[in-house]
Amino acid sequence: MQHLGSAPFLCILLAFALSCTPDHSSPTSDLNWDMYLGGPGTNQYSPLDQINRENASNLQVAWVYHSGDADSLNRSQIQCNPLIIDGILYGSSPALKFFALNAATGEEIWSFDPWGNNYQQFGMGVNRGLAFWTDGNDKKLLVTSGAFLFCINAETGQLIESFGNQGKVDLHDGLGRDVSNMFISANTPGVIYKDLLILGTRVSESTGAAPGYIRAYNVQSGNIEWVFHTIPKPGEVGYDTWPENAWERVGGANAWSGLSIDRERGWVFAPTGSAAFDFYGGDRPGANLFANCILVLDAATGERIWHYQTVHHDVWDRDLPAPPNLITVNHNGQEIEAVAQITKSAHIFLLNRETGEPLFPIEEVAVPASKLDGEQTWPTQPIPTKPPPFSRNRMQEKDITNRTPEAHDYVKSIWENLAEGDPFVPPSEEGTIVLPGFDGGGEWGGGSFDPETGMFYINASEMPWILQMVPFEPTTDDKLASLGRSIYNSQCILCHGKDKKGASIHTVPSLVGLKDRMDKATLVQTVTKGKGMMPAFGHLSADRVDAIAAFLLETDEKVPEGRIQSRNASDWPYPYSMTGYNRFRDHEGYPALTPPWGTLNAIDLNKGALAWKIPFGEIPELAAQGMKNTGSESYGGPVVTKGGVIFIGATLDEKFHVYDKDNGNLLFEYQLPAAGYATPATYTVNGKQYVVIAAGGGKLGTKSGDAYVAFSLP
């Protein structure tokens, strides 16, 4: 027994003991992040706990990857939630090149450019993620860029030419009517069910919009296997909620924000948006199914299982902004499989996953009627009683900013002349306050759900916006620029604003003084082909584009003989247009209401109650003046882990944050090379946990970036 004290024996004994001790921080098999937002239920949750609340303060940068293609004018973004599968990270760049990296080092393995460095010419928008399919041998990535779906060999980055037309499928196909000149794109990846990719699309929110039908593509051939008509045809459920044959002319009702999949049931869950035109529905009286619905379909056939409409006859742009979370909650002592759907209005619709029945009461509340000619708003709207809204939804006098006396007086003078009240005050000529604004509340970053606690985490923006309708005025003189102004007010005003100064919903440039920096040929190409975030306006005829050019370039030409001078000349069928996406700010450009201007929220979905709320983000120049913890608008969502932490970027102060999920205490933050307007992903390689976020910036006035930044423990 005396030999037990010898050093060699103690080393052997210690090694044996350590080998028998469970080590939760070093899993025996690496954990992937193999679907958009973390899994089929899009719950943005990871069971990893190597990085935890005790050690998160020790995080350090593990690697940084630069794609090298950020826009020098700060108009590009990266919104991608990357995939990490068996040690390889798959992501997209600002110019929508797709790539594979070594997920432990950030070294590039391959890169695929679908447009051969012509991204700016084609106006491809952004990409939020990729879909991965494998049968155990072949590995495919299904990705979207502009109006096309591409199929890529995941190991080589080469197009699989047996798919569609030499590796790609045109998203204009299969919609049942001619939409060849209409804008169609897909920012958010589809979901895989067996050998199907099920996909929604982004379409125009104005006139000339394509229908937002949901389609399933065969991953081998690219053929369309089924189509669900979100604007029903005769004989289909919901047809009577539209005018007769609305499907032939109305667009929108599209699932642009992504899908969730219940593989055991074989059901796909689709959140849909508004019908077009977003802000006036006089041409589409009725409740308008299946716009603004949580729509549940048989994933194999596209047949409707059930639906729940969250807004009737939407005229507020209240699209469902993120895929629903497929969760299990403890409700009245029972474990119930449920659906949690966030909204731009900062509500959570919590429904029984099998039946669509609400778990907490949802009341149909009477709302004001529209005063606009021809508009027939729906008399009631559904409002959940629990959980409570995670953002303010009314801007009262007490909410007017007190940042400075001048700011208060400026905002109050405007506020007094706007329509204000509870949610669903209709659009008006005097201007209506929309709070939360058109970007939420909740947005495409989605929320994360902790299955162990039933806690739901969501970041919210608290920014009021002003929705103002103006009577549409046809041209009255013989000037080509006057006709161009009429067309501008129908096609361009939503983004560029009535004063041509650009609007704040995206990084939209000013068009003031355009004649000094752009020639007509370049302008015509930009309008017809699109550029960067701007979609193509291929539905406009050449003479209409010429008229827009005359207006923007301030020429003195007359309308050529035979040109139609009427409202129809602008292809605008409505009696009103909208003055643009305008945030309500004070005279110095800061939010018009009191802080917080952004929050991070923890909501107990078992009880339907708020657990905690903290200000989230800062405005750097105000923080430097001592006005800290104001919160800010944010884009991109959180990831929660078993390790007790929340990972999130999202804020305009360009920081990556780690919070304690129990109380919202800040554990770690890091200044990114550009803002991380994307949802992070976490994974392991060789037993080491990493968390990675795309730092693409380009929104909210912040600079554009081209980086993916990964963190790990020392």
Is residue 556 a part of any domain in this protein? yes
The answer to whether 609 touches 386, Cβ cutoff 8 Å, is yes
Which comes out higher in pLDDT, residue 116 or 657?
657
Helix (H) or strand (E) holding 327: strand 325-331
| Torsion angle, alpha carbons of 57, 60, 65, 69, to 10 | 50
Q: What is the pLDDT of residues 8-25, one digit of tens each?
A: 333 333 333 333 333 333
Is residue 547 a part of any domain in this protein? yes
Is residue 320 a part of any domain in this protein? no
Is residue 502 a part of any domain in this protein? yes
C-alpha–C-alpha distance, residues 556 and 86, integer Å: 63
Average pLDDT over residues 216-245: 98
C-alpha–C-alpha distance, residues 270 and 255, integer Å: 6
Is residue 33 a part of any domain in this protein? no
Is residue 203 a part of any domain in this protein? no
Q: What is the pLDDT of residues 673-692, one digit of tens each?
A: 999 999 999 999 999 999 99
Per-residue model confidence (pLDDT) at position 11: 37
Q: What is the pLDDT of residues 171-215, one digit of tens each?
A: 999 999 999 989 999 999 999 999 999 999 999 999 889 999 999
- Assign 3-class secondary structure to 139-193: EEEEEEECCEEEEEECCCCCECCCCCECCEEECCCCCCCCCCCCCEECCCCCEEE
C-alpha–C-alpha distance, residues 396 and 713, integer Å: 46
Per-residue model confidence (pLDDT) at position 481: 74
The answer to whether 697 touches 704, Cβ cutoff 8 Å, is yes
Alpha helices in 399-513 (DSSP H): 405-415, 480-491, 493-496
Asked if residue 561 has pLDDT above 80, the reply is no
Question: Residues with Cβ < 8 Å from 701, sequence gap 6 or more?
Answer: 507, 652
The answer to whether 269 touches 262, Cβ cutoff 8 Å, is yes
The answer to whether 194 touches 301, Cβ cutoff 8 Å, is no
Neighbouring-strand partners of residue 456: 449, 603
Q: What is the pLDDT of residues 317-329, one digit of tens each?
A: 999 999 999 999 9
Burial 688-702 (b: 16+ CB within 10 A, else e): bbbbbbbbbbbbbeb
pTM: predicted TM-score of the whole model, two decimal places: 0.89
Is residue 489 a part of any domain in this protein? yes
What single string gives the DSSP state of each residue in 344-386?
Answer: TTS-EEEEETTT--BSS-EEEEE-PPP-STT----SEEEEESS
Token pair belonging to 509: 């440039």
C-alpha–C-alpha distance, residues 500 and 580, integer Å: 10
Per-residue model confidence (pLDDT) at position 568: 45
Per-residue model confidence (pLDDT) at position 20: 36
Domain count, the chain: 1
CA-derived radius of gyration, the chain: 26
The answer to whether 470 touches 482, Cβ cutoff 8 Å, is no
Average pLDDT over residues 334-355: 98
Average pLDDT over residues 279-289: 97
Task: Say which range, 132-141, 507-516, 599-608, has the weakest mean pLDDT.
Answer: 507-516
Token pair belonging to 183: 């804008």
Asked if residue 505 has pLDDT above 70, the reply is no
Percent of the chain beyond pLDDT 90? Answer: 77
Question: Residues with Cβ < 8 Å from 339, sequence gap 6 or more?
Answer: 269, 294, 324, 325, 326, 327, 349, 350, 351, 352, 353, 356
φ and ψ at residue 261, rounded to 5 degrees: -135, 130
Is residue 501 a part of any domain in this protein? yes
CATH number at residue 495: 1.10.760.10
Find tokens 């909410």 and name the residue.
399
Per-residue model confidence (pLDDT) at position 538: 66
Mean pLDDT score of the chain, rounded to an integer?
90
Confidence of residue 535 (pLDDT cuts 50, 70, 90): low
Average pLDDT over residues 654-680: 98
Q: What is the pLDDT of residues 583-629, one digit of tens each?
A: 999 999 999 999 999 999 999 999 999 999 999 999 999 999 999 99
Give residue 198's identity as a one-letter amino acid code.
Answer: I
Boundaries of domain holding 554: 473-573
